[in-house]
Structure 1
Amino acid sequence: RPEFALEESFCTGTISIDNIPIINLSFTKSHEIYLKMIEATQNLDKFISIDLAPYEINVLVEGTISTLLIRNNKIISLDDSETVFINKSSREVLRETQDKIKQALWEFRLKFPFDVKEDLKD
């Protein structure tokens, strides 16, 4: 779930998976970006799963807009103007997010090793 902290004229939002921060954004007080963070959290809840393969997590870049995709489902789109407060391009932010999601899944699998493809039929 996103956690927000108010600092003067901008907000900082963090989305975590299993207590591993995967995306941190700082932005001006903007209702639109706040809603975008909430939507990204909901999309992650909907599309992330333990059997997710690393190649199924992608970043699509079109001009100044980058989109994080999981199994071709949009998680979040950011424009470079929305990442200006952290001095990174939207592509850099979402590539880091992509890597952190892979890390979170890897760490989860190490904690709870089991074969997700195992056939459970009798």
Structure 2
Amino acid sequence: MKKIYLLMLMVVASVGTTMAQAKKVLQTVTINTPTVQCETCKKKIESFMAREEGVTKTVVDYKRKQTKVSFYTDRTNIENVKTAIANAGYDADDVTANEEAYNKLPKCCKKPEDGGGMKKQ
């Protein structure tokens, strides 16, 4: 009888501990990405962000120069998301692109003042 009572007590205690943990909250933010130029930029950012911990979805709109990112707040935060975009080589709100990553971007993804951008037809 004591064993059953102890087993039940342990089950109740473990359930209480699990419920006390932080809840996963999914947050979606829109980040201005003024340096995205084309479909290549879109693919690069989306594939880069897919590897970031806590990020569940990334949608780049290069025509509006915005990126929507959904992430779990218990795993990352908006500053980490902006830094990740910058590490991919693109400006993200107030975070400037990582220079080394920017230099590795294809010519079409670079800023017009650096000789990049989409060709006018």
Give the TM-score taking structure 1 as reference length.
0.32
Bigger Rg over Cα: 2
Give the TM-score taking structure 2 as reference length.
0.32
Give 1 or 2: higher strand fraction.
Answer: 1
